[in-house]
Chain A
Amino acid sequence: MLSLLKNKFGIINTIHKSFSRYQKEDRMFFPFLRISLGLFFLVHFLSTLADFDILFTNEGLIPLDVISLLRVKGIPTLNIIIKLLNNVGIDNVYTIYIYTYIICCITFTIGLFSRVSAIVILFLHIILFQSSNIYMYGIDFFKSISMFYCVVIPLGSKISLDAVLFKKKEYNPSPYRNLLRIHLSIVYFTSGLDKAFGINWWNGESIWKSLHLPGFESYIIRDYDLLQIYPIIPLFIGVLTVFIEILYPFFMWRKRTRNYWLALVICLHMGIIIAMNLYFFGAIMILLSLSGFLNLEEKEHQGANSN
């Protein structure tokens, strides 16, 4: 019994060591993730700002009070916060929300009070998500996932104002990056597996249907007559999509095949961006895959090389 316990703990220790082992290629993970996500959140927020009133206010298409009946209980929503602040005499809550969001994206990107900024952005994102969940699609889940990691990960410990001003000691980025890698592997594998169950991913029909969804017509490709003439093309794209996703964990974790598979994943998302106009969804997926698997080794300084 004792030896069994020892063995079990031995396995856990081995996993722990391998999970936490520092890899040179992870060195710039913190600044890469922080700066890319900070800019992404800022640009995405600004790009929706012109429709903020119609989507996210009580004067919009569907009043927040109606939508938020579908929220997860126990998590505050924007309309609850508005009512609370109105009670203490603060009226212009939407303006405060918008400015706070923009300012925190900027401070997060430059690494000033990185963790506090990430907490505020996550909070603002969640209360909006909860109060308008019927408008939320894949991108919003990945925004929650990525900003949650930004709260957990000490992103301000390298190339940031926090590191300069508060003399923060640098953390080993590898375990944090490994968590993101494992999460992405589960995401792509299950996405591919779920598709593999559907017959239409094997005969081209799913690709054909996706390309003709109303409201998602491409601005670049005007018609798909070629796919009717050569139905093997949508069939090939469908099967390739399933394989790229299912085999993601196997090829992304191998150093020899990683860059090739990363290029395929980027092509897949670029295809979705071009064919369905899902710019931001494609962009965040590319950013997360790059953050997880791109070689982010820090280049040695010229002086250090000569030494």
Chain B
Amino acid sequence: MDSINGNLKTSKYFFYFAIVHILLILIVSLTSTVDSYEQSTSYSENSFTKSLIKFNDNILSLNSLPIIKQYETIGGINAGYGFFAPNVASAYILKISVYDKEYRKEYKSSFFPPFKTREGLNRYHTLLGYFQNKLTIIENKLNNKKSDEFEESDEYGEYLDIFIKSIGRYYYKEYPSDRYRMQCTLYLYHYPLLQESILQKKAPVLIQLLKINVEPLKK
């Protein structure tokens, strides 16, 4: 420790720690910004942007090195800051319907699990945002397109289905499995664009992506 400011102590090492920390923040932010650019309408493919994307991938692999990844996670610097960027992501809605045992008669349906707090609901909507990948997986299947990204793989898609089934099964606590069955329907929520709304097309549209009958877990 030295004392360059009168009576106040100053740590010599903090400066060097700060340099490394800022460097990591810059790296993560840069990769996130390049990702945003790649997803945006401003992106045009040419030799420069191709090498930029390649450079970005190399940096991303540096970020996944052990210790660096754990440090970034603990420091909260493992994600970029492109909130609602480059565009506001689409919203998804999950409808949970309570049926009789044969799925013939619908007794009740709900779009929101029984959260008691605003924060609980905000967190639930964060979870629904993960289904953006489900849409990509469905689109890729329809177009016979293979993706190298884990988040767009069939395995990840199955994982997301498990989330939906878990949410459906939660309702068996209230509606016993000897009498009821749950069905979960995932929708893409499309609110008319500002330009469409000016022309008076106001009603939001729900586009069904998938429907899953959720059987109770065998005891």
| Contacts from A to B (Cβ < 8 Å) | 16, 19-22, 44, 47-48, 50-51, 54-55, 60-63, 66, 69-70, 72, 74-75, 122, 126, 130, 134-138, 141-146, 148, 152, 157, 169-176, 178-179, 182-183, 186-188, 190-191, 193-195, 197-201, 203-206, 208-210, 212-216, 227-228, 231, 234, 277-280
**CB-CB < 8 A to A197: which residues of B?**
36-37, 39-43, 85-86
Q: Which of A178, A179, A198 contacts B86 (CB 8 A)?
A: A198
**CB-CB < 8 A to B93: which residues of A?**
214
Tell me the count of chain B residues lying within 8 A, CB to CB, of chain A.
79
**CB-CB < 8 A to A190: which residues of B?**
29-30, 32-33, 80-82
Beyond A135-B124, A183-B22, whether A200 also contacts B166 by CB under 8 A is no
**CB-CB < 8 A to A122: which residues of B?**
74
**CB-CB < 8 A to A72: which residues of B?**
69-70, 73, 78
Beyond A47-B119, A48-B120, A179-B21, whether A214 also contacts B9 by CB under 8 A is no
Does B9 contact A152, Cβ atoms closer than 8 Å? Answer: no
Nearest Cβ on chain A to B61's Cβ, whole angstroms? 15
Does A50 contact B116, Cβ atoms closer than 8 Å? Answer: yes
Beyond A62-B163, A72-B69, A179-B22, whether A209 also contacts B88 by CB under 8 A is yes
Does A175 contact B10, Cβ atoms closer than 8 Å? Answer: yes
Q: Which of A146, A198, A227 contacts B41 (CB 8 A)?
A: A198
Nearest Cβ on chain A to B130's Cβ, whole angstroms? 6
A-B contact count (CB 8 A): 238
Tell me, in angstroms, the Cα distance from A118 to B39 when the chains sit together: 38
Instruction: Confirm or deny: B176 has a beta carbon within 8 angstroms of a beta carbon on chain A.
Output: no
Does A141 contact B120, Cβ atoms closer than 8 Å? Answer: no
Does A194 contact B17, Cβ atoms closer than 8 Å? Answer: no
Nearest Cβ on chain A to B98's Cβ, whole angstroms? 16
Instruction: Confirm or deny: B4 has a beta carbon within 8 angstroms of a beta carbon on chain A.
Output: yes
Beyond A135-B127, A200-B88, whether A144 also contacts B75 by CB under 8 A is yes
Q: Which residue of B lies closest to A20 (CB)?
A: B10
Tell me, in angstroms, the Cα distance from A135 to B135 when the chains sit together: 19
Give 13 pairs: A residue, B residue, CB < 8 Å, sorted on A. Answer: A22-B8, A55-B123, A63-B166, A75-B73, A146-B76, A148-B76, A172-B9, A179-B22, A197-B40, A197-B85, A215-B125, A227-B194, A231-B194
Tell me, in angstroms, the Cα distance from A193 to B80 when the chains sit together: 12
Tell me, in angstroms, the Cα distance from A265 to B79 when the chains sit together: 22
Beyond A195-B84, A206-B87, whether A22 also contacts B5 by CB under 8 A is yes
Beyond A63-B166, A135-B126, A172-B10, whether A145 also contacts B88 by CB under 8 A is no
